[in-house]
Amino acid sequence: MSQAFDPLQLYMNWILEGSLLRFRPPINAIQIHDKGLAEKEQLLGVILDRQGQFQTELFVVPPYIKKINAHTHPDVSSIEWSLAGDFVFTCDGFEFPFKSTGTLNITEASAPIIVKNTSSHGAPIVNNGATFLSFQYWLNGIEPSSVGYNFDES
């Protein structure tokens, strides 16, 4: 892992090793997004924790969505961790298939994926919805909100 991601890796580990009870969601924690999706489609983002330039956002992609177009978040570097669903996540040309099995825990079924602020990523195949955590480090002095508002379709 590159040196630029060390603070983000430390934040992710702190969140994963702790209790949900220490989360600090902001007032505007629940967001609905439609960028990168087909017309009239929406997904849900819930900001579970925000501390300075770091935050954790849970994304829920409903089963009717079949694709998330490739995009970047110019002011956000992140680590994505799949939780549930059946989809293929892509990042800079690499594919990361994920499918919930009901028998494996999350660390057995998934692994963290580093997404730099310049990384083109998306989900070209969504078969039965998707749920994932996004551990974020907001860059360039931009105040954290939801990555759905810091979005550049590539």
Q: What is the CATH number of domain 3-16+24-153?
A: 2.60.120.10
pLDDT at 1: 45
Alpha helices in 4-140 (DSSP H): 6-17, 106-109
Sign of torsion over alpha carbons 15, 136, 55, 84: negative
Convert the pLDDT of each residue in 18-39 to its tens digit. Answer: 877 788 899 899 999 888 888 8
Domain range list for the chain: 3-16+24-153
**CB contact at 8 A, 134 and 121:** no
Identify residue 33 by its one-letter amino acid code.
H
What pLDDT score does 3 carry? 53
CA distance readout (Å), 148 to 2, 6, 151: 25, 24, 6
Q: What is the dihedral of CA 138, 6, 98, 153, to 10 degrees?
A: 30
pLDDT of residue 54: 96
Helix, strand, coil distribution of the chain in percent, nearest 5:
15, 45, 40
DSSP letter assigned to residue 29: -
Q: Record the pTM.
A: 0.89
43-86 tens-digit pLDDT: 999 999 999 999 999 999 999 999 999 999 999 999 999 999 99
The alpha carbon of residue 139 and the mean position of all alpha carbons in its chain are separated, in whole angstroms, by: 16
106 phi and psi angles, rounded to 5 deg: -60, -40
d(CA 39, CA 67): 12
